[in-house]
């Protein structure tokens, strides 16, 4: 399966390259999609490693339809000033996460693609160097560096998301390696180009959620997935209300994934919970209650997180 061709709007995309890009021959392309975020801090942190990677790494940034002229102007100036080879692609309209990642891969020149979301921050100053060294040494098909909450905000409004992420996403590499296909998220994820061309992201996934998990299901059947301790912090913690909104968006994607991989999804706790909840006659009222309980600040964080997980499963009950 090759990467899908860009949409017709490709001709309207604005491309900004810096001076270092023309002569560069990178081994690793760092691919950063964003929508209504500001990736400038991440770009600055990555650029601080330019000397240590000595041309082995390039940056490709995709603005997936933010339509913010001031932000675009600032990013154009920043990209042009970067020491790392860099390209900024500015789209006039949103094309979605899966299509955006496929577009980034088409613009990349490295043999390995490092997907990195704009709200990630490297946890140390050897981040790019470690990825470049891994590619030079082992050239893995797929490798995941890990998430952390080391630099993430500690505001009370993010406590529930922090608790959920700490339990399900911020897993040490030694534990991830025991179930390598389970812990694959498309941020801080390295994919060799031939692997990506064989298994691209499904553009049928729209909105938020599950396109990375579905991709990992396909890839892990054909290629070895390795894990390493090269973490980055997920800075983009959400409030309960924002996270609930994302779960609502993700239900159709969960249904699509379940239809394509029923034997795998059937073992997911969220699927099992959804099947049980589906049998309840008062589910719509219960679902509203779960959402309300998750937002009650006077309750313990663990109880709120449990209620929010139930709410997600109750949403998915309509899809299973």
Q: Is the pLDDT of residue 273 over 50?
A: yes
Same-domain check for residues 77 and 19: yes
**Calpha distance 57→109 (Å, rounded):** 10
Quick one: which H or E segment has residue 245?
A: helix 240-260
b/e burial code for range 173-209 (CB count within 10 A of at least 16 → b): beebeeebbebbbbbbbbbbbebbeebbbbbebbeeb
Look at residue 319 in the predicted model and tell me its pLDDT.
81
Q: What is the pTM of this model?
A: 0.86
Q: Is there a single domain that holds both residue 233 and residue 246?
A: no
pLDDT band at 2 (very low <50, low <70, confident <90, very high): very low
Are 73 and 220 in the same domain?
yes
5-19, 76-90, 271-285, range with greatest mean pLDDT = 76-90
Which residues is 63 bridged to in the sheet?
A: 34, 90
Tokens of 80: 């042009």
48-87 residue pLDDT tens: 999 999 999 999 999 999 999 999 999 999 999 999 999 9
| 3 within some domain | no
Instruction: List phi, psi (to 5°) of 99.
Output: -65, -40
| Residue 162 confidence (pLDDT) | 96
Is a pLDDT exceeding 80 seen at residue 9? Answer: no
pLDDT higher at 167 or 79: 79
Would 2 be classed as within a structural domain? no
Per DSSP, helices labelled H in 108-198 are 127-137, 159-168, 173-176, 193-198
Q: Specify the pLDDT at position 209.
A: 85
Q: Which of 216, 237, 258 is the last residue of a domain?
A: 237
How many independent structural domains does the chain possess? 2
Torsion of CA 292, 295, 300, 306, to 10 degrees: 60
C-alpha distances out from residue 87 to 93, 128, 192, 220, 282, Å: 18, 17, 20, 30, 52
Same domain, 90 and 131: yes
Cβ-Cβ contacts under 8 Å for 172 (sequence gap 6 or more): 146, 229
C-alpha dihedral (257, 258, 262, 265), degrees to nearest 10: 90
86-90, 92-96, 148-152, 298-302 — which is least confidently predicted? Answer: 92-96
pLDDT value at residue 12: 86
203 & 93 share domain = yes
Domain closes at, from 220, 237, 254: 237
* pLDDT attached to residue 11: 53
Tell whether 196 and 251 lie within a shared domain: no
User: What is the per-residue pLDDT for 88?
Assistant: 98
Residues 233, 123 share a domain: yes
Estimate to the nearest angstrom the gap between the alpha carbon of 155 and the chain centroid.
23
Residues 51 and 83 in one domain: yes
Residue at 54 is within a domain: yes
In this structure, is residue 164 part of a structural domain?
yes
What's the rounded Cα separation, in Å, for the pair 220 and 314? 28
Q: Residue 7 above 50 pLDDT?
A: no
Last residue of a domain, one of 237, 268, 302: 237
pLDDT reported for residue 1: 42
291 contacts 311 by C-beta, under 8 angstroms: yes
* Cβ atoms within 10 Å of 263's Cβ, excluding its own: 7
pLDDT digits (tens, 9 = 90+) for 207-247: 788 888 888 889 988 999 999 999 999 998 999 999 999 99
| Structural domain that includes position 120 | 8-237
21 within some domain: yes
Please say if the pLDDT value at position 298 is more than 50: yes
β pairing state of 120-122 and 225-227: unpaired
Q: How far apart are CA 286 and CA 310, in angstroms?
A: 10
Average pLDDT, integer, range 86-93: 96
Please tell me which of 255-264, 292-301, 310-319 the model is most confident about, judged by mean pLDDT: 292-301
Return the residue matching tokens 């020491």: 83
Assigned domain for 191 exists: yes
Tell me: pLDDT of 6 over 60: no
Q: Is the pLDDT of residue 284 over 80?
A: yes
* 171-219 tens-digit pLDDT: 999 999 988 877 888 889 999 999 999 988 888 888 788 888 888 889 9
**CATH number (domain holding residue 104):** 3.90.550.10
Rounded CA-CA distance 292/246 in Å is: 16
Residue 94 domain flag: yes
């Amino acid at each position: 399966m090759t990467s899908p061709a860009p949409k017709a709007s490709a001709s309207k995309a604005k491309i900004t390259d810096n001076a270092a890009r023309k002569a560069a021959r990178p081994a690793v392309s760092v691919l950063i999609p964003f929508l209504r975020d500001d990736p400038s801090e991440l770009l600055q942190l990555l650029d601080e490693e330019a000397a240590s990677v000595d041309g082995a790494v390039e940056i490709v940034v995709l603005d997936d339809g933010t339509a913010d002229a001031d932000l675009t102007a600032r990013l154009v100036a920043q990209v042009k000033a970067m020491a790392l080879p860099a390209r900024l692609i500015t789209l006039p309209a949103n094309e979605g996460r899966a299509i955006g990642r496929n577009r980034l891969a088409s613009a990349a020149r490295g043999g390995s693609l490092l997907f990195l979301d704009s709200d990630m921050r490297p946890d140390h100053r050897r981040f790019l160097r470690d990825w470049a060294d891994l590619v030079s040494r082992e050239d893995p098909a797929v490798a995941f560096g890990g998430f952390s909450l080391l630099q993430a905000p500690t505001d009370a409004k993010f406590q529930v998301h922090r608790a959920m992420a700490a339990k399900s996403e911020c897993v040490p590499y030694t534990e991830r390696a025991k179930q390598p296909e389970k812990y694959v998220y498309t941020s801080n994820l390295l994919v060799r180009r031939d692997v990506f061309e064989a298994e691209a992201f499904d553009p049928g996934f729209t909105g938020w959620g599950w396109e990375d998990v579905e991709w990992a299901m396909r890839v892990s059947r054909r290629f070895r997935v390795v894990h390493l301790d090269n973490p980055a912090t997920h800075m983009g913690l959400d409030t309960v209300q924002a996270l609930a909104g994302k779960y609502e968006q993700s239900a159709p994607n969960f249904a699509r994934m379940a239809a394509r991989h029923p034997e795998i999804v059937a073992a997911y706790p969220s699927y099992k919970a959804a099947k049980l909840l589906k049998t309840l006659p008062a589910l719509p009222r219960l679902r509203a209650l779960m959402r309300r309980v998750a937002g009650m600040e006077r309750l313990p964080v663990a109880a709120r997180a449990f209620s929010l997980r139930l709410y997600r499963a109750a949403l998915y009950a309509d899809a299973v």
